Amino acid sequence: MKKTILTGIKPTGQVHLGNYMGAIKPALGLAQVQDYQAAYFVADYHALTKTHDAEEFRQLSYGIAATWLALGLDPEKAIFYRQSDVPEIFELNWVLSCFSPKGLMNRAHAYKSMVDSNQASGKDADLGVNMGLFNYPILMAADILMFKTDIVPVGKDQIQHVEIARDIAEHFNNNYGETFILPEYQIQEDTAVLPGLDGRKMSKSYHNTIPLFAESKNLQKLINKIKTDSLPPEAPKNPDESILFTLYKEFASPDEIAQMKLQYLSGIGWGEAKKELFNVMNNFLEEPREKYNELMSSPERIDAILKEGAEKARAVSSPFLKEIKNKVGFYA
Ligand code: TRP
């Protein structure tokens, strides 16, 4: 039997190149593995803990869905859905919450770091904390356990959440007998950590990102903002110390990379290096960007794809939820 590999992205911001290299690209690779059944979803209910503007919420949700599709996720092969279209997840969320020790939630890092920073600045500990944020790990456990997930590919910051899902599953299994599969997390150790405009890791919180589908003019502008030193154009440059070259390597062919390395060593102006970087990036992004824009201008097409995905998801979640409710004692 195929192993289920499941992951969700929550639509809380514009997808950037760092997200692509670090999370989406490896997940797309895993979806191709013969022994895996991929279940990838838009974690919209999770985003609701943060985004309270309806129009923004809608755009960001479609944006995540269109991103996956534009980059080549095949909805025929993967189960690709919107979390909120699968109500069984939400029902399971309640059942699981009755097996989730509150103390465990107190220690969950998203909540805890907010409390810590409130306390450090002398404010009320729970200032700005809604119950959605507090319950976040339980909903995530429901996402994972609902589909008998074997493997959850995630970033390091999500390890704790997968461990919480295992904990909750164990509490339930201990009480009612083997029901849930205990999921394993999988960290993508070998994926590139992309530098942002200032050379630090590209991250929304550093405001140094390049949006994945920036229009080419804007892409060029952003690349022009990348920090460089003041060496004159003819001076030899060390490619291994250049943000421009690190980025170039991610998008160019091996031949281009070898060529560019020589140009650095024999002296290339930063302006020229930026132009070359723009060319390879733009080349790589052109096609998915076009697909993305097409999809975003006809959201009904995205809806249709997600709806089909939700049907596939519910073919699994609906009977499993019945079985779970049966064990808990809802039916005769
Ligand atoms: N919490 C994850 C993140 O912020 C998103 C997410 C929600 C998720 N449910 C999930 C990831 C289930 C993996 C599995 O990145």
Ligand 1 atom index nearest CA of 140: 9
Q: How many C-beta atoms lie closer than 10 Å to residue 235's C-beta? A: 11
Quick one: tokens of 330?
A: 């809802």
Give the nearest ligand 1 atom to 46 CA.
7
Full strand arrangement of the beta sheet holding 79-82: 79-82, 36-42, 3-9, 151-154, 184-187
Residue 33 has what pLDDT? 94
What's the one-letter identity of residue 231?
Answer: L
Best residue among 5, 7, 185 to mutate for probing ligand 1, ranked by most atoms within 8 Å of CB:
7
Query: Residue 21: pLDDT above 90?
Result: no
Cα 1 to ligand 1 centre (Å): 25
Per-residue pLDDT tens digits for 141-190 = 999 999 999 999 988 889 999 999 999 999 999 999 999 999 999 987 76
Q: Which residue has the higher pLDDT, 316 or 228?
A: 316
Give the ligand 1 atom nearest the CA of 143: 12
Pocket test for ligand 1, best of 6, 9, 109 (most atoms within 8 A of CB): 9
- Rounded to 5 degrees, φ, ψ at 271 are -60, -45
Which of 142, 131, 140 lies closest to 102, judged by CA? 131
User: Concatenated DSSP letters for 40-73?
Assistant: EEE-HHHHTTT---HHHHHHHHHHHHHHHHHTT-
Residue 103 tokens read as 């103390």
Q: Which fold has domain 3-194+298-328?
A: Rossmann fold (3.40.50)
pLDDT reading at 330 higher than 80: yes
For the purposes of burial, counting CB atoms within 10 Å of the CB of 88, is it exposed (0-12), middle (13-18) or buried (19 or more)? buried
Report the separation in Å between the CA atom of 271 and the middle of ligand 1, taken as the mean of its atom positions.
40
Q: What's the confidence (pLDDT) of residue 158?
A: 92
Q: What confidence score (pLDDT) does residue 22 get?
A: 86
Per-residue confidence (pLDDT) for residue 204, from 0 to 100: 87
What ranges do the domains of the chain cover? 3-194+298-328, 213-292
End-to-end alpha carbon distance in the chain: 32
Q: What is the pLDDT at residue 117?
A: 95
For the whole model, what pTM was predicted?
0.93
How confident is the model over 89-121, as pLDDT tens digits?
A: 999 999 999 999 999 999 999 999 999 999 999
Whose CA is closest to 150, among 2, 301, 302? Answer: 2
Superfamily of domain 213-292 in the CATH hierarchy: Tyrosyl-Transfer RNA Synthetase (1.10.240.10)
The pLDDT, as a whole number, for residue 68 is 97
Mean of all residue pLDDT scores within the chain:
95
Task: Give me ligand 1 centre to Cα 46, in Å.
Answer: 8
C-alpha neighbours within 13 Å on the C-beta side of residue 13: 13
pLDDT at res. 188: 77
Percent of the chain scored above 70 by pLDDT? 100
Amino acid sitting at position 21: M
Sign of CA dihedral 104, 95, 90, 140: positive
Q: Which atom of ligand 1 is nearest to the CA of 12?
A: 4
Q: How far is the CA of 162 from the centre of ligand 1 (A)?
A: 9
Please compute, for residue 73, the number of CA atoms within 13 A of its CA located in the half-sphere on the CB side: 30
pLDDT grade for 293, boundaries at 50, 70 and 90: very high
- Ligand 1 site: residues with CB under 6 angstroms? 6-8, 10, 43, 46, 140, 143-144, 152, 154, 158, 161
Residue 319: Cβ within 10 Å count = 11
Mind listing the pLDDT tens digit for each residue in 194-250?
Answer: 889 998 989 888 999 999 999 999 999 999 999 888 889 999 999 998 999 999 998
Tokens matching residue 255: 């031949």
